[in-house]
Chain A
Amino acid sequence: MVIEHDKMRSLAARMAQPEVRGRSPWADARRRFLRNKAAMAGLVILLLVVLFAIFGNHLAVWSNEELDFSVMGQVATMGQPSLENGHYFGTDDLGRDLFARTVQGTQVSLLVGLVGAGIAVIVGTLYGAVAGYVGGRTDQVMMRTVDILMSIPYMFVLILLLVMFGRSMTMLFLGIGLISWLDMARIVRGQTLSLKNREFIEAARATGVSTWRIIIRHIVPNLLGVVAVYATLLVPLMILTESFISFLGLGVQEPLTSWGALISEGAGTMSYGTLWQLAFPLFFFVITLFGFFFVGDGLRDALDPKER
C-alpha cells in the first residue's frame, strides 16, 4: 500500500509539472526567415508598398479624378513632380494627379495579385491533395483535366473572355483565377504522392482516421511550406499577367487603373519628355516584384533548410 501511495504521489507530482512549450517546425522556420537579411528587406519593402496603397490617399492633395486645369495642355512644362502644387509624382497626360493614380493602381494590382494567388492556394492545394491522396482512377481523371486546361493557351483565353464578356474587374479575377491554380495543383499532387506513403499517414489510416481528415490534418499542414513558397512567387506572376493584359488595353478600365495601365500610358508619352509618368508606376512595380521574389526565396530557405 505504501508503495502504491508513493507511486500515486509521484505520478501526481509529475502530472502537475508545468508543461514545456515545444518548438514547432514553424517556429524554427520563422527564426531562420527572420535571420535572412534579403528576405527581411523584401518584407519591409512589401510592407511599405502595402502601407502606401492603404494610406496613400490621405497624403494626396488631389483626388485621382480631379483634373488640374492649370497644367492641362502644358503637362510637359508645368506638370512635373513638385511639392509646391501638391503633385508629388507630377500629373498624367490629362492633368490628373499621378500620386493619387499610383495609389489607386497599387491597390488594384496588389488585389489582383493576392486574389489570384489566393484562389491558386485554396483550389490548387485541395485539388492536388485530393488527387494525390485518393490516387487511382480519380487521380487520373483529375490530373488529365488539369493537363487539358493547361494545354489551352491561357493568354488567348483571357483575352477572349475579356473581349466577349466585357472588360471588368470580376472578369479579370475570374480569368486569372481560372488558370492560376493549375500549376499549384500539380506541385501539390507531387508532394502529396511522396507524403502519402510516409509511416505517419499509414499510422493514421491504421487507426481509422477518415480520408478527409487525413488530408486536412496530416497532408495539408505538411504541404504548406511548399505552398507558401510557391504562393509568394505566384503573386508577382499574377501582377505581371494583369499588367500585361492592362498594357494591351484589355485589363481594368478607366477610371480604375493599375500598374500595367499606368506604365502603358507612361510609355506612350515617353517621347514628349514626361518621363515621370513612366518612372513612378514602374518604380513601384519593380520594387514590389523584387520584394516578393526575395520573400519567396527567404521562405524557401527557411522552410526547406535541406534543399539549398
Chain B
Amino acid sequence: MTTPLLDVRDLRVSFPVRQAGAMPWTRPRHLHAVGGVSFTLQPGETLGVVGESGCGKSTLARALIGLVPATGRAEWQGGADLIGLSARQMMAYRSQIQMIFQDPLASLDPRMTVGQIIAEPLVTHQPALPRSQVRDRVKAIMDRVGLLPSQINRYPHEFSGGQCQRIGIARALIVEPRLIICDEPVSALDVSIQAQVINLLMRLQADLGLSLIFIAHDLSVVRHISDRVMVLYLGKVMEIAPARDLYADPQHPYTQALLSAVPVPDPAHDPAATVVPLKGDLPSPMDPPSGCVFRTRCPRAAPRCAAEVPVLAGDRHQTACHFPGPFTPQEIVRARATEAA
C-alpha cells in the first residue's frame, strides 16, 4: 500500500461558546463541531463527505486547511503534521492544498478583475514571478477550466454562477495543488450547471492526478464523483466505505435513513415502503448524547448504545455501530409508526 496523501487521525475541533450574560471569568462551554474524525486519502482519490446541515462537514474542511484551530493529527504524505503548524510553516503546504467554496460569487472579491483573482495564490506563493508570466499562466488556466482567456479583465459580477465557480476552480488550480477541498461546490448552482462543473472537476482530476475531498449534501452528486464516501453525523464518522459498497449495501442505520430519503425518479416507486423517517432534530453539539451520538434518533437504539461509544470497525467498509446491518421491513414499519405518533 502506498503512503496516503493525507492521513487524518482523531481530528477534533471545538469552539468556546460564551453564554449571554455570563460573567467574564466563568469558563465558556464548548461546541464540539468535529469530534474525532479519522480517515486516509490516497493520491488521485476522491473522498466524498456527506451528512446533514451542521454535522461538521465544512468545519472539517476548514480545520484541514488551517482556518480553524483543531487538535489531532493530519499527516501530509507520511511526513509533516498539518495540525498545529505555525502560519509560516503552513505556507509551504498551502499551495499543495487549495479550496473551492460553496457560493461562487461570494468567494470572489467584487472589486478585483478575474485575472487578479485567479493570480492571487500564484502571486502569494511565487512573488518573484514576472507579471507577463503570471498573466500567461492565468490565461492558460482559464482556458483549461473552460473560460475565455480574453475575459481576463472582466469583473465577477459580469459572469454567471457556473462561470464564477469555474473562476474559483481556476484559482485553486493555478498553484498546481495535490489536493483540492471542495466545500459544497455545486449546491448553489442549478442542476444542468452542476453537471458541467462536476464533469469539469472529474476531468481535471483525471488529467492532473488530483485528490479531492468533496463535501456535499446531495447524495447522488457524491455517488457520481467519489471513490469513497464518508458519512458524518454530529461531528463523528458513522460509516466510511467505497462509494459503490456504501450505496449498494449501507450498514449504518443513519446512512440507510439518509439514502432512503433520496428521491427515486420512478412513478411506480412507493416511498412508503422504503423511506425510514428519523424522529426529532439533530441534538445540540454543545451537549451531544452519551455513547453513540445517533442513538437519540436511531430506530434500532438499545441500552448498550447509550453506555458505549461505537468504534469504526471493518476493513474497507467501516461502520461505527453496535448493531450494523440493513433495516428489516418490520423495522421500517415500526419507525414509520412512531414517527406518525
Contact = CB atoms under 8 A, between A and B. Distances in A.
B120 A202 contact: no
B334 interface: no
A17 B148 CA distance: 9
Contacts of A198: 106
Nearest to B93: A208
Contacts of A205: 67
B121 interface: yes
Interface in A9-36: 11, 14-15, 17-26
A209 B111 contact: no
A14 B149 contact: yes
Contact of A25 (B102, B110, B151): B110
Interface in B52-106: 65-67, 87, 90-91, 94-95, 98-99, 101-103, 106
A222 interface: yes
A207 interface: yes
Given A199-B102, A199-B103, A209 B120 contact: yes
B153 A207 contact: no
A197 to B, nearest CB: 10
Chain B contact-residue range equals 35 or more
Contacts of B218: none
Chain A contact-residue range equals 20 to 34
B109 A207 contact: no
Interface in B113-168: 113-114, 120-121, 124-125, 139-140, 143, 148-155, 157-158, 168
B67 A15 contact: no
A203 B171 contact: yes
Interface string A218-248: 1001100000000000000000000000000
Given A14-B148, A24-B155, A208-B125, A222 B67 contact: no
Contacts of A222: 109-111
Contacts of B157: 25
A203 B181 CA distance: 12
A206 interface: yes
A200 B106 contact: yes
Contacts of B66: 206
Contacts of B212: none
A204 interface: yes
Nearest to B87: A208
Contacts of B107: 199-200, 202-203
B97 to A, nearest CB: 8
A218 B109 contact: yes
A277 to B, nearest CB: 49
A207 B155 contact: no
B143 A15 contact: yes
A218 B156 CA distance: 14
* Most chain B C-beta atoms within 10 Å of own C-beta, residue among A14, A207, A209, A222: A207
B103 A24 contact: no
B121 to A, nearest CB: 4
Given A200-B107, A200-B109, A208-B94, A17 B149 contact: yes
A226 B260 CA distance: 50
B94 A22 contact: no
Nearest to A26: B111
Contacts of B124: 207-209, 213
B150 A19 contact: yes
B232 interface: no
B182 interface: no
Given A199-B106, A200-B107, A207-B120, A22 B113 contact: yes
B155 A22 contact: yes
A24 B158 CA distance: 9
Nearest to B147: A14
Contacts of A203: 99, 101, 107-108, 168, 171
Interface of A: 11, 14-15, 17-26, 198-200, 202-209, 213, 217-218, 221-222
23 contacts: A14-B149, A15-B140, A20-B154, A22-B151, A22-B158, A23-B154, A24-B113, A25-B111, A26-B111, A199-B103, A199-B106, A199-B107, A200-B108, A203-B171, A204-B120, A206-B65, A206-B66, A206-B98, A206-B99, A207-B94, A207-B120, A209-B120, A222-B109
Given A14-B143, A18-B150, 11 more contacts: A14-B150, A15-B139, A24-B111, A25-B111, A25-B155, A199-B102, A203-B107, A206-B67, A207-B94, A207-B98, A213-B124
4 A-B pairs with least C-beta separation: A22-B154, A208-B94, A17-B150, A199-B107
